[in-house]
Chains A and B, each alone.
Chain A
């Protein structure tokens, strides 16, 4: 099963699940906003997204990932709007029978997300200027 959400506001993590008896691996990834963007200090980022297509692409990648790596469940929340330095912008949890397929699935999912999901960062600098970030990591 996959769950994907675009969230405008602080991310509430998916709860750890002690009732699962078939999955030996529960893997969590939290991506946080760094204080430096494009070599400059920022106060926060603003995440802009293409409403509709961002959710659609995120779901497509999540479904493709669980099929390709035979993991059981993949849950993901991506935050949009203003995100302060240090706060979580991306939260992913993957449950699988063994850790290896979970770790491989996580790497693949985040890499695909960074290549295909129409979400962009605007950097807000200390002097208040707002510019599109140049930062891309595939």
Chain B
């Protein structure tokens, strides 16, 4: 098993109602599998929202495998400017 921290911003924070969550997951799980779990947790509140994924402050591909201690962010469309 691995443990990862999910930091939440914008629509993800709004949908989950929290800044941060910790997940205990099976070894070998990918980012997109975690994204599916999070989307299910929010009961459709993230349905129309595209999410990109960052691990330890770098954008990664959806099929990247998570490792123990990773900090993960599901990044909704950004809005700087």
Contact = CB atoms under 8 A, between A and B. Distances in A.
A132 interface: yes
A47 B10 CA distance: 10
Main secondary structure, interface of B, reads: mixed
Interface in A85-138: 89-90, 110, 113-122, 131-133, 135-137
A116 B57 CA distance: 12
Contacts of B1: none
26 contacts: A48-B13, A50-B9, A50-B54, A50-B57, A50-B73, A53-B57, A53-B73, A90-B80, A90-B81, A113-B81, A114-B78, A114-B79, A116-B59, A116-B78, A117-B78, A118-B54, A119-B79, A120-B10, A120-B76, A121-B79, A132-B11, A132-B14, A132-B76, A133-B79, A136-B77, A136-B78
A56 interface: yes
Question: Chain A contact residues (Cβ within 8 angstroms of B): what range?
Answer: 20 to 34
Interface of A: 31, 47-48, 50, 52-54, 56, 78, 89-90, 110, 113-122, 131-133, 135-137
Contacts, number: 61
Nearest to A137: B81
The CB with the most chain A CB atoms within 10 A, among B14, B76, B80, is that of B80
Given A48-B10, A50-B9, A120-B10, A136 B79 contact: yes
B34 to A, nearest CB: 17
B81 A118 contact: no
A52 B57 contact: yes
Interface in B63-79: 73, 75-79
A25 B79 CA distance: 28
Interface in B26-44: none
Given A117-B78, A121-B79, A135-B79, A53 B54 contact: yes
Contacts of A131: 14
